[in-house]
Amino acid sequence: MAVIHHTTLKPTKLELLTDWLPSRPWYRGGPAAPQLSKAGGFRLDDPQGEVGIEFMVVTDASAHYLVPLTYRGAPLDGAEHALVGTMEHGVLGKRWVYDACHDPVAIAQLLSLIEGRAQAQDQNASEAPDREVVAAYTGEAPLTATDITTTDDTSGTALATPNGTTVRLQRALEPSAAAPEEAIGQVTGSWQLPDDSRARGLFAVVLSA
């Protein structure tokens, strides 16, 4: 289990995302810098204990966004295009922050979550499962984490596997959104709305070719 350190971050995660988020094709805001706040999310544990994996939900005036991030103690080879930025962690030192949709450790753990081999963890507490995150998979073939092709478009991010299966992440979240009938897997979760109520919707869906 990953240990959650309650310490300082410079810059903060939201400060990094303020610059990065508007560069994404699925961002729905205008040219002005977003005014972000944290609205929820969950973590996944790296079995090797080296990479921090967080699926953060942030909100601004335009939408609620699912932003998967990984935190590493050294640069990830070949992932310069996916670098969100760097920060100084009060306990761990310099951390490289990546869009987790391009990080093989995060992708493998997301697929494990969908297949029921991994448990979503609380975003802010160590050794505390997040029971609000629910995953399901009805496909017959195991999901493979090798040779993944990641593609961003205006509606989200697609993780295409070599066997024709695609995991599609919902980047702009919609309360009460449900998976299409042809889906063979999904991940749903909850987040906070500006009025302090809770919304629930689709985080990811698995589609077969």
Would the pTM count as exceeding 0.85?
yes
Q: What is the pLDDT of residue 61?
A: 87
Residue 4 pLDDT greater than 70, yes or no: no
Q: Using alpha carbons, select from 79, 81, 84, 80 the residue that is nearest to residue 68.
A: 84
Cα–Cα distance list, 160 to 110, 117, 150, 206 (Å): 13, 20, 6, 10
Answer for the pair 201, 134: CB distance below 8 angstroms, yes or no.
no
pLDDT at 187: 98
Which string of b and e fits 175-196 if b means at least 16 CB within 10 Å? Answer: eeeebeeebbbbbbbbbbeeee
pLDDT digits (tens, 9 = 90+) for 107-125: 999 999 999 999 999 998 8
Average pLDDT of the segment spanning 172-200? 93
Phi and psi for 167 in degrees, rounded to 5? -100, 120
pLDDT of 91 strictly over 80: no
One-letter amino acid identity for 154?
T
